[in-house]
Amino acid sequence: MYQENHLAKRIRHASIGREDAPFLEVHPSGKIVSYGAFFANAEKIAAALVRVGVRPGDRVAVQAPKTVTMLELYVGTILAGAVFLPLNTGYTASEIRYFLGDATPKVLVCDPRNLAALTPVAKDCNVTTIWTLAADETGTLAQARGVESAGFTAIARAESDLAALLYTSGTTGRSKGAILTHLALASNSETLREYWRFSQEDVLIHALPIFHTHGLFVATNITLMAGGQAIFMAGFDADAVLGYMPKATALMGVPTFYTRLLGLDGLGDAAKNMRLFVSGSAPLLAETHDLWRAKTGHAILERYGMTETNMNTSNPYKGARRAGTVGFPLPGVEVIVADPETGSPLPQGEVGVLEIRGPNVFAGYWNMPEKTAEELRENGFFITGDIAVIDDHGYVSIVGRAKDLIITGGYNVYPKEVELLIDALDDVLESAVIGVPHPDFGEAVVAVIVAAAGSAPKGDAIKSGIAPELAKFKQPKRVILVDELPRNTMGKVQKNLLRQRFAGLFG
């Protein structure tokens, strides 16, 4: 039934004939969702999508709480031959307007609490169907699913067809939609499943959001492809994760998960039967890696990836997992460190821009041919913007970010977007938004501002002035007033000096 659809065939393969096998154990109810029940519901959603006019290649957008139904919507969208477009739950209505205008989806699924605010936005953007999905799994999407029957035959989709559109933040404040094909998603998850040895025996603690590549593709697709089980948590709760460890085998997390878990009693005992801890999406401090090993006996396996490329490198399953490195290129993925000016590979040991080529790499930015041409070379290499070095054993280390990105709690914040909003406030002359070390979030967003002549703005007023326009995770944790911003002779703000000056703010 799924044979003609490249990704669907591969995520269903391991569970065919094992319809009663558990796929998800839902936290905190303990409800078990079997593979058979999950795919039957996904098939019903595919039928519902087709009924409202979704055709192959159409986009299906969702900004909703992490639920089993949202995961069914992901698979249902793939079965219907459409393109899944998940949106960060933190985005405000004005941010959503940009995504809907750019991606022009046929369907939007939203939290019923946001329905009133999003309905006019969706109408303006020619969305033809709006369904709701609440944290308790109820809503009009579940109703639409309820009138359909299982047994949907997946729409034929080839390797090169679009499966998902995931937005990254844009350095100029505009987000870019990364076009991900069936091949990119299927091949990368298959590679990781093998590399990290996932099997039917595995029970993964799934506490990551499913609007981001890490929780959606890495965690979910690997579990499906292995035919294993996931403990499905709507959000990260350190105590609950610790409680599940004795009956689980693996955890995938961002560094913040690990720093929080380290603060709990009983970690060593709880982790005894786990076989794998994976970290990614932001740099894991060597200190965290060492502390974790001392407390649990496990070396956290750090890997590196991006929205545009899925996963690129990983520390080995067997062999030394080196703290502060992101390991080796995955099988089938080519990684070079290139001269930022010429793009030619640099000798081993030199620092340069990381470029990636492989079946995992995206097909380009949605509606942005110029951006695509700037970042995706004709020979297939993607210029990641990450600054890296490869040591003489082949381990890759990410040493900086060419694009000035802040990663806070695993989420990306591009300073420019925040600066533009702050600068638009009457009391502000200019601003520089930086990331400074934070014990819990890895980095915290900090705004350094210069007041407009005759003004003396308060930090709280700045924060509340931009709050309606900006997801919470992007809002500054601290606002600092200075007389002037440091600049180099070319007039560029020297953010490195600001980062140094305020490095101890949360320490």
Residues that bind ligand AMP (CB under 6 A): 168, 213, 280-283, 302, 304-307, 326, 384, 386, 398, 401, 405, 407, 412
CB of 310 to ligand AMP, least distance (A): 9
Question: Residue 277 in contact with residue 247, Cβ under 8 Å?
Answer: no
Cβ closest to ligand AMP, residue 46 vs residue 413: 413
Q: For residue 247, give the nearest of 30, 505, 394 by alpha carbon.
A: 30
CB of 36 to ligand AMP, least distance (A): 32
Cα angle 27, 111, 114 (rounded to 5 degrees) comes to: 145
**93-103 vs 115-124: helix crossing angle, rounded to 10:** 30
Question: Residue 404 in contact with residue 415, Cβ under 8 Å?
Answer: yes
Cβ closest to ligand AMP, residue 77 vs residue 384: 384
Which amino acid is located at 357 in the chain? Answer: R
CB of 403 to ligand AMP, least distance (A): 8
Cβ closest to ligand AMP, residue 165 vs residue 479: 165
Cβ closest to ligand AMP, residue 69 vs residue 168: 168
Cβ closest to ligand AMP, residue 72 vs residue 302: 302
Closest-by-Cβ residue to ligand AMP is 307
| Distance from C-alpha of 432 to C-alpha of 429, rounded to nearest angstrom | 11
Number of H helices, E strands in the chain: 17, 24
461 Cβ contact list (under 8 Å, min separation 6): 427
Length of the chain: 507
CB of 186 to ligand AMP, least distance (A): 19
Q: For residue 357, give the nearest of 342, 325, 379, 389 by alpha carbon.
A: 379
Cβ closest to ligand AMP, residue 69 vs residue 310: 310
Sign, Cα dihedral of 436, 478, 211, 83: negative
| Distance from C-alpha of 415 to C-alpha of 170, rounded to nearest angstrom | 10
CB of 474 to ligand AMP, least distance (A): 13
| Distance from C-alpha of 252 to C-alpha of 274, rounded to nearest angstrom | 12
Cα angle 309, 235, 258 (rounded to 5 degrees) comes to: 70
68 Cβ contact list (under 8 Å, min separation 6): 24, 26, 33, 38, 137, 232
CB of 231 to ligand AMP, least distance (A): 23
CB of 220 to ligand AMP, least distance (A): 15
Cβ closest to ligand AMP, residue 157 vs residue 474: 474
CB of 386 to ligand AMP, least distance (A): 5
Cβ closest to ligand AMP, residue 9 vs residue 377: 377
